[in-house]
Amino acid sequence: MATQANVARQVRGGRYEPLPARSRKSLLRRIGDNRTLLLMCLPAIVFFLVFSYAPMPGVWIAFTNFNYRDGIFGSPFVGLRNFEFLIQSGQLWLLTKNTILYNVAFIVLGNILQIALAIMLNEIRSKYFKKISQAAMFLPYFISVVLVGVIAFNLLNYDTGVVNALIEQSGGDPLKIYSMAGLWPIIIILFWLWQSTGYGSIVYFAAIMGIDNSLFEAAAIDGASAWQRIRYIILPSLKPTFIILLLFSLGGIMSGNFGLFWNLVGNNAALFQTTDIIETSVYRMIISQNNFTSSTAVGLYQSLFGFALVMTCNYVVRKINEDYALF
Amino acid sequence: MTAVVATKRPRKVKAGKDDLVLRGISYLGVTLFAAFCALPFVFIVSASLSSESAIMRDGFGLLPNEFTFAAYEYIFKAPQQIIGSYVVTITMTVAGTALGLFIIAMTGYALQRKDFPFRNGISFFIYFTTLFSAGLAPTFIWISRYLELRGSYLAVFLQLLMTPWLIILMKNFVRSVPHEIVESGKVDGAGDFRIFLQLVLPMMKPALATIGLFLALGYWNEWYLSSLYLGSTVEFKPLQYHLYNLINTANALRNSVAGSNVSITDLPSNTLKMASAVVATGPIVLVYPFVQKYFVSGITVGAVKG
Amino acid sequence: MRKSLVRTGAAALALAMSVTALAACGPGGGEESGEPTEITMLVLGDKPTNGRLEAMLEKLNVRLEEEANAHLDLFYVEWADWQTQYNVQLLSGDDNVDLITTATDWLFAWENAEKGAFLPLSEEMLQENAPKTWDQVDAAGDWDLTKLDDGQIYFIPEDNFTQWTNHGFFYRGDWATEAGFEDGTITKFEDFTTYFEWVKENQPDAYPWDIAGPNDAALTGYLQGHTDGQTIQQVSAGIYFPFQTTESDPYTVSSWYMEGDELLEAAELAKEWNDIGVWREDALNYDGDTREEFFAGLSGADQHHTQTFVGSIVDNMTKKQPGSDPKFFYWGQENGNYFRDILTHGAMAVSANSANPEKALEVYDVLRNDEEAYKLLNFGIEGTDYVMTDDGKLGYPEGYDSSTDALGSNFWGGRMDEFEPDRVTDAPNKQEIYDELDASAKDYEYSTLVVNKDLIDPTLAAMGGVLSEYIPQLQYGKFDDPAAAIDEMRQKLNDAGYEDARAAIQTDMDAWAEERGLE
């Protein structure tokens, strides 16, 4: 059977391939030798081909005046017209700035809080307390963002919002929160932390659990204080986890948590200055303006910019320490 | 068994003053944060048990205002819609999680095998999709005009099967399975797929539980793809999309300038929305304690350790 | 042996995945001759679940089978996210939908026709498959209202149905009387300040005007009553219609967003209202049902068009708020700057992807012109869904509850006056209102104007983006300094290419006017 396959390969190779016989053979052999593993990857490869790669040529829309009749590649070509105003109006810059700043805030604050929480969780001795508190921390993860928007409105609205009720009870004047653009970065970040810190802390908690016990024992013998234990043992051992998570977040630095932003802010233009990110803007262009071209233009910019950013970061990381590079 | 289970740290023999302070802070911090996380959920539940007029007047509170089950009664008076949505969502969640998990595990395993020459190429092929994507409109056009999947549950089901992040996470999990196991399998003459199926997979229960939970949550909480690819083409909308519609209908209607005489009197009220929210969220929350054990230890193992 | 079995399994799974993904689920297609053709019509609205629609369709299909050898099914674009859903439905190229409800003002028929969503309808095709419709529209001379610059017809107008869809305020006469208005009648837009202030002070449970979501009602209401601007329906930027002409200079294209002080006056009034607390502070994010709140006495005003007022507001308010004396103030009432309904506020297009466009037209012809089919589709089954009263009005059977028993077929693309009886729920003074409107309403002159937008589409898109940022905030009085905000908006609109777009439309306007020997 093996011989048969080899013959077949040679025949096929002889017909098509002008390459020297040896290297050709070795690639084919490599495929042959790993056919099972390749087959195991095939569903995933097909998946990404079909749902991620195949639509990519469609970004051509960004350079056309798209219409249904002529389709993506038949619609009139307009060059960079769709980008002009986006750039000129400063909108693209605003979106880039907002998107990146939010992600940076998420990464920095998220990681600090997650690590702190993980260290605290590690100090908890009661098994039940740990279990219940962990369950509570995961709760937000189970609540669909659709609901998060409703919760936020009921907490923050001017007339009946819980927050304003508390302010009034303590004698203050209620805040017009849904017109205060300056406040929203804080609100969005709080909701994001609320939603994702619980999960994130578990990842760090797990890393702490993985630390070799003898390190702690040695520290105890040396009379290290609790703070020293954190400073010199726990934090350094979290570094690899942190870097991997960091790099992964970097990959998504130009995208955002669309569902969260959309459900919190929606169409409230008064808040866009501080809350509009690329993905909400793309979505709004399509839903309320029926504008597929500019939306694709923004999307294309997002991909290119993000790609360049990640490649650069990865290159730098690879220079510093190859182990930490993503690829 | 060995490397896969996180070891429990033995109790410290003597605790100094600083240890006690740290422990105090820890209990306080964890309690506060847990409360912070649980609080909004309390608001929803209490609102769903309040009377409509009380909500309109006073807004939400920690405790039900003018306690009533009216909203729940209303939902279960005509439960077809929500039951249909349940069936759709549960089916998708179960089937999607099972299929997705299998494919992800298989891929993660193959990509982790050091002797697999294409692992870097394929890994990059997968990772690249997080960097560059076609975007909303082109993807939509591709899936609906070319694959003709719009209006089919498959459009939602298939797109949620896997993500690059989950595959890479799985790859890390598999790393903790000792290589000797693969070797011993090879010595016994087992093929790669059999090694995976019979030797590796059983060792990865916590990992499967963790990634399975992610997948399941992805399916359970899905509303966005449904709104694009299903809209009103299907009789029963996935649960969260059904909820999204409930919440947004009044809003949408008011903004319309439609023909005439639109009946809007049967639109859901505040408490009804909240009760629907509880009904839509409740089950997955109830399932969680049962997988919590695997879940937490699963992450512990996966523990992205580079 | 087993090894290869396992391997085959893996391969099969992989294949299965690719096949499911690639093969897709195309429609069956290929109907046998003789079998009735299934025609699907897209309508807007929430699909009713009370079973009445299905019962009606069953009867209707018997009739349709006789008349056109076809069956009708309805496809609903639901109200939640209806704009997204409508756009996305057209973008998807779905070939299961044959007839599409459209409108030039609120469903962007021109945009969608230009984008190629609708099948161009040749005269022969219409004459052959929808002869009655063809004759009626032709006799009225209305086909020109539905042509693009290629001279082709793209949709069928609902041109034989009297309706008034001019917008305005619904308010309460009883409260207005107490607020000091004679007869409880308000006749000027600014006078609502007095009314709202009175409601704020004397009706603690009610918002003076509970309104929500992105909206431009307060601005448009003022602009229409304080300028002689007439909005050009053919050109939209996003969801806004930024181009106008004026009555005094009817062939010069301008924009009330760009020129004059009226926008600022409107914005300042809106700010005054916002400061009084006329609407919820969080109106933009609120998603409750404000009309229900008006019915419940929790809002002093509501905003929509005449048709809603005579068909639903009066009836509901009379029942739910006895003595509330509901009244209607329409935009442009003070200066007579309001318009007779355009004849394409409702229209029907054939989908460019329809597999059976001829049959679709045949079905439409029956729905529009066959009295039995028309009544079934629009009113339902007599005795169950409606009854005819002794005085010839359309009423409802005993125990009928319009909130749960509505038919909801929402056929808004071909209603006919001759088949429409008065309804018991109509406002008693419906005819008076109509007569009053009719007395001084203006005609929309530009129905046959065709604007070529190929070159200005990106500009319009950019303008739409700017407007969607500023208009809602001006409308709700959210800028501390409306004058500065308007300057900023105008600057951005200029940057977006307003002048180019205006000039392009002006060119088409000039050609159009010249052709007709105007000015």
Name the helix (H) or strand (E) containing C74.
Answer: strand C70-77
Nearest CB to A178; choose among C18, C83, C284: C284
Confidence check: pLDDT of C504 > 90: yes
Task: Let me know if residue C391 belongs to a domain.
Answer: yes
Helices of type H across chain A: 2-16, 21-33, 35-48, 71-74, 81-88, 91-123, 127-142, 145-156, 162-169, 184-209, 213-221, 226-229, 235-251, 258-265, 272-275, 278-289, 292-320
Q: Hey, what are C50's tokens?
A: 């009370």
Whether B141 and B252 share a structural domain: yes
Q: Hey, what are A29's tokens?
A: 């052999």
Instruction: Give the pLDDT score at B291.
Output: 72
What is the end-to-end Cα distance of chain C in Å, rounded? 91
Whether A44 and A177 share a structural domain: no
Nearest CB to C239; choose among A153, A178, A289: A289
Rounded mean pLDDT of C216-227? 92
Nearest CB to C20; choose among B154, B256, B267: B154
Three-class SS of residue C157? strand
Whether A256 and A135 share a structural domain: yes
Confidence check: pLDDT of C387 > 50: yes
Whether B244 and B295 share a structural domain: yes
Task: Let me know if residue C509 belongs to a domain.
Answer: no
Task: Let me know if residue A99 belongs to a domain.
Answer: yes
Checking A185-188 for CB contacts under 8 A at 24+ apart, the result is A185/A101, A185/A102, A185/A105, A185/A274, A185/A275, A187/A152, A187/A156, A187/A264, A188/A102, A188/A260, A188/A261, A188/A264, A188/A265, A188/A275
Q: What is the DSSP letter of C443?
A: P
CATH of the domain at A152: 1.10.3720.10
Instruction: Give the pLDDT score at B298.
Output: 57
Predicted-complex ipTM score: 0.81
Task: Let me know if residue C95 belongs to a domain.
Answer: yes
Whether A131 and A257 share a structural domain: yes
**Residues of chain A neighbouring C493 (CB-CB closer than 8 A):** none
Beta carbon pairs, A and C, within 8 Å: 148
Q: Hey, what are C75's tokens?
A: 């496809």
- Residue A19: strand pairing partners: none
Q: Which residue has the higher pLDDT, C169 or B65?
A: C169
Whether A213 and A138 share a structural domain: yes
Cα–Cα distance, C186 to C190 (Å, whole number):
9
Task: Let me know if residue A32 belongs to a domain.
Answer: yes
Confidence bin at A168 (pLDDT 50/70/90): confident
Cα–Cα distance, C397 to B183 (Å, whole number):
80
What is the end-to-end Cα distance of chain B in Å, rounded? 21
- Give the structural domain span for C151: 37-161+343-417
Task: Let me know if residue C276 belongs to a domain.
Answer: no
Whether B178 and B190 share a structural domain: yes
Task: Let me know if residue B2 belongs to a domain.
Answer: no
Q: How many helices (H) and strands (E) does chain C have?
A: 20, 12
Task: Let me know if residue B76 belongs to a domain.
Answer: yes
Tokens 């099914």 appear where?
C73
Confidence bin at B256 (pLDDT 50/70/90): very low
Among the candidates B22, B41, B68, a domain finishes at B68
Tokens 């082709």 appear where?
C152
- Among C391, C276, C353, C286, smallest CA distance to A69 is for C353
Task: Let me know if residue C192 belongs to a domain.
Answer: no
Instruction: Give the pLDDT score at C231.
Output: 92
Tokens 């929203």 appear where?
A184
Instruction: Give the pLDDT score at C75.
Output: 93
Q: Which residue has the higher pLDDT, A220 or B54?
A: A220
Confidence check: pLDDT of C484 > 90: yes
Confidence bin at B249 (pLDDT 50/70/90): low
Confidence check: pLDDT of C299 > 70: yes
Whether A45 and A107 share a structural domain: no
- pLDDT, chain C, mean: 88
User: Which residue does chain A place closest to B241, by CA atoms?
Assistant: A146
Instruction: Give the pLDDT score at B186.
Output: 85
Cα–Cα distance, A268 to A157 (Å, whole number):
13
- Scanning C18-47 for CB atoms below 8 A from B yields 20-22, 24-26, 44-47
A135-149, C38-52, C346-360: which has the highest mean pLDDT?
C346-360
Cα–Cα distance, C166 to C215 (Å, whole number):
16
Confidence check: pLDDT of C58 > 70: yes
> Quick one: A318 exposed, middle or buried, by C-beta within 10 A (0-12, 13-18, 19+)?
middle
Confidence bin at B157 (pLDDT 50/70/90): very high
Beta carbon pairs, A and B, within 8 Å: 309
Least-confidence region, from A135-139, A215-219, C3-7: C3-7
**Residues of chain B neighbouring A306 (CB-CB closer than 8 A):** 131-132
**Torsion angle, alpha carbons of B152, B156, B157, B163, to 10:** 150
Instruction: Give the pLDDT score at B274.
Output: 81
Rounded mean pLDDT of C270-279? 94
- pLDDT, chain A, mean: 83
Task: Let me know if residue A63 belongs to a domain.
Answer: no
Instruction: Give the pLDDT score at C276.
Output: 93
Give me the phi and psi of C332, to 5 degrees please.
85, 10
- Residue C442: strand pairing partners: C339
Instruction: Give the pLDDT score at A70.
Output: 86
Rounded mean pLDDT of C312-325? 91
Tokens 């699909």 appear where?
C47
Q: Hey, what are B188's tokens?
A: 């016994």
Whether A104 and A34 share a structural domain: no
Whether B19 and B148 share a structural domain: no
Instruction: Give the pLDDT score at C23.
Output: 41
User: Maximum CA pair distance of chain C?
Assistant: 97
Pairing between strand C347-350 and C99-102?
Answer: antiparallel
Q: CB distance C80–B248 less than 8 Å?
A: yes
Instruction: Give the pLDDT score at B11.
Output: 46
CATH of the domain at C104: 3.40.190.10
Task: Let me know if residue C361 belongs to a domain.
Answer: yes
- Give the structural domain span for A14: 2-54
Whether B243 and B270 share a structural domain: yes
| Digit-coded pLDDT (tens) for B4-37 | 334 444 444 456 788 888 899 999 999 999 998 8
Question: Cα C339 from chain centroid?
Answer: 15
Instruction: Give the pLDDT score at C80.
Output: 75
| Digit-coded pLDDT (tens) for C339-353 | 988 888 899 999 999
Q: Hey, what are C381's tokens?
A: 């089954």
Q: Which residue has the higher pLDDT, B266 or C52?
A: C52
Instruction: Give the pLDDT score at B209.
Output: 79
- How far away is chain B from the Cα of C300, in angstroms, using its nearest Cα? 16
Whether B186 and B148 share a structural domain: yes
Task: Let me know if residue B4 belongs to a domain.
Answer: no
Whether B134 and B276 share a structural domain: yes
Domain count, chain A: 2
Confidence bin at A24 (pLDDT 50/70/90): low
Confidence bin at A18 (pLDDT 50/70/90): very low
Whether B297 and B282 share a structural domain: yes
Among the candidates B68, B86, B116, a domain finishes at B68
Instruction: Give the pLDDT score at A137.
Output: 86
Task: Let me know if residue C478 belongs to a domain.
Answer: no
User: Which residue does chain A place closest to C471, by CA atoms?
Assistant: A269
Cα–Cα distance, A258 to C130 (Å, whole number):
47
Three-class SS of residue A323? helix
Task: Let me know if residue C58 belongs to a domain.
Answer: yes
Task: Let me know if residue B193 belongs to a domain.
Answer: yes
Amino acid at B134: A
Domain count, chain C: 1
Mutate to test the interface with B, among A154, A157, A313 (most CBs of B within 10 A): A154
Task: Let me know if residue B3 belongs to a domain.
Answer: no
- Scanning C44-63 for CB atoms below 8 A from B yields 44-47, 49
- Give the structural domain span for B39: 12-68
| Digit-coded pLDDT (tens) for B47-64 | 888 877 777 667 777 788
Domain count, chain B: 2
Give me the phi and psi of C167, to 5 degrees please.
-85, 165
Whether A276 and A180 share a structural domain: yes
Q: Which residue has the higher pLDDT, C356 or C79?
A: C356
Cα–Cα distance, C331 to C338 (Å, whole number):
7
Q: Tell me the pTM.
A: 0.82
Whether A142 and A245 share a structural domain: yes
Q: Is the dihedral of CA C45, C51, C52, C53 positive or negative?
A: positive
Q: What is the DSSP string of A114-146?
A: HHHHHHHHHH---HHHHHHHHHHHHHHHHS-HH
Whether B47 and B165 share a structural domain: no
Rounded mean pLDDT of A55-65? 92
Whether A95 and A224 share a structural domain: yes
Instruction: Give the pLDDT score at A270.
Output: 87
Confidence check: pLDDT of C213 > 90: no
Whether A174 and A250 share a structural domain: yes
Q: Hey, what are C90's tokens?
A: 């057209």
**Cβ-contact B210, B161 below 8 angstroms:** no
Whether B38 and B78 share a structural domain: no
Whether A6 and A107 share a structural domain: no
Confidence check: pLDDT of C256 > 90: yes
Rounded mean pLDDT of A252-264? 86
> Quick one: B109 exposed, middle or buried, by C-beta within 10 A (0-12, 13-18, 19+)?
buried
Q: How large a percentage of chain C has pLDDT more than 70?
A: 93
